[in-house]
Amino acid sequence: MSEEIRTRIAPSPTGFFHIGTARAALFNWLFTRRFGGKFILRIEDTDKERSTEEYEIDIMECMNWLGMDYDEGPETQGEFGPYRQSERSEIYKKYADQLLADGHAYRCYCTSEDLEAEKKSAEANHLPPKYSGKCRNLTPEQIAQYEKEGRPSTLRFKIEEDQPVKFKDLIKGPMEFDPKLFGDFVVLKSDGLPTFMFAGIVDDTEMRITHVIRGEDHLSNTPRQILLAQAMNLPIPEYGHLPMILNSDKTKMSKRKNPVSVSHDFRDQGYLPEAMINFMVLLGWSPSVNSILDGPTKTDELYTLKDLTSGFDLADIGKSPAIFDQTKLDYFNGYYIRQMDLGELTHRALPFLQKAGLIKKESEELLQIIALVQERLKKLSELPELTDFFFHLPNYEADLLIPKKGTKEATLKALEESSQALAQEDDFSRDSLDNLLRALAVKLGLSAGEVLWPIRAALSGKPASPGTFELLGFFGKDESLARMKKAIDMLK
Please answer whether residues 332 and 271 qualify as being in contact, where contact means their C-beta atoms are separated by less than 8 angstroms: no
User: What does the chain come to in residues?
Assistant: 492
Per residue in 394-415, pLDDT (tens digit) is 999 999 999 998 899 999 999 9
What's residue 295's pLDDT?
A: 45
Alpha-carbon distance of 394 to 475, in angstroms, equals 13
What's residue 78's pLDDT?
A: 79
What's the predicted TM-score (pTM) here?
Answer: 0.90
What's residue 300's pLDDT?
A: 66
First to last CA, the chain: 79
Amino acid identity, position 409: E
Question: pLDDT grade, residue 293 (50/70/90)?
Answer: low
Please answer whether residues 29 and 41 qualify as being in contact, where contact means their C-beta atoms are separated by less than 8 angstroms: no
Whether 289 shows a pLDDT value over 60: the answer reads no
What's residue 491's pLDDT?
A: 92
Query: Any idea which fold 398-491 has?
Result: Arc Repressor Mutant, subunit A (1.10.10)
Whether 302 shows a pLDDT value over 50: the answer reads yes
Mean pLDDT value across residues 377-387 = 96
Mean pLDDT of the chain: 93
Mean pLDDT value across residues 124-130 = 85
DSSP line for 164-227: -EEEEETTTEEEEE-GGGT--EEEE-TTSPBPHHHHHHHHHHHTT--EEEEEGGGTTHHHHHHH
Positions marked catalytic: 255
Please answer whether residues 255 and 17 qualify as being in contact, where contact means their C-beta atoms are separated by less than 8 angstroms: no
> Where do the domains of the chain lie?
89-242, 273-388, 398-491
Please answer whether residues 322 and 19 qualify as being in contact, where contact means their C-beta atoms are separated by less than 8 angstroms: no
CATH code: domain 89-242 is 3.40.50.620
Partners of residue 72 on adjacent β-strands: 40
Alpha-carbon distance of 22 to 213, in angstroms, equals 12
Question: pLDDT grade, residue 54 (50/70/90)?
Answer: very high
State in words which class domain 273-388 has: mainly alpha
Per residue in 423-480, pLDDT (tens digit) is 999 999 999 999 999 999 999 999 999 999 999 999 999 999 999 999 999 999 999 9
Alpha-carbon distance of 358 to 348, in angstroms, equals 15
The DSSP 8-state label assigned to residue 377 in this structure reads -
Whether 45 shows a pLDDT value over 90: the answer reads yes
- Number of other CB atoms surrounding residue 187 within 10 Å: 25
Whether 297 shows a pLDDT value over 50: the answer reads no
Specify the range with the lowest mean pLDDT, choosing from 12-21, 244-253, 383-392.
244-253
Q: Which residues lie closer than 8 Å to 447 by C-beta, 6 or more apart?
A: 441
Per residue in 63-118, pLDDT (tens digit) is 999 999 999 999 887 789 999 999 999 999 999 999 999 999 999 999 999 999 98
Alpha-carbon distance of 241 to 238, in angstroms, equals 10
Question: b/e for 281-316, b at 16 or more Cβ within 10 A?
Answer: bbbbbebeeebebeeeeeeeebbebebbeebbbbeb
Please answer whether residues 174 and 166 qualify as being in contact, where contact means their C-beta atoms are separated by less than 8 angstroms: yes
Per residue in 210-267, pLDDT (tens digit) is 999 999 999 999 999 999 999 999 999 999 999 999 998 888 887 777 778 999 999 9
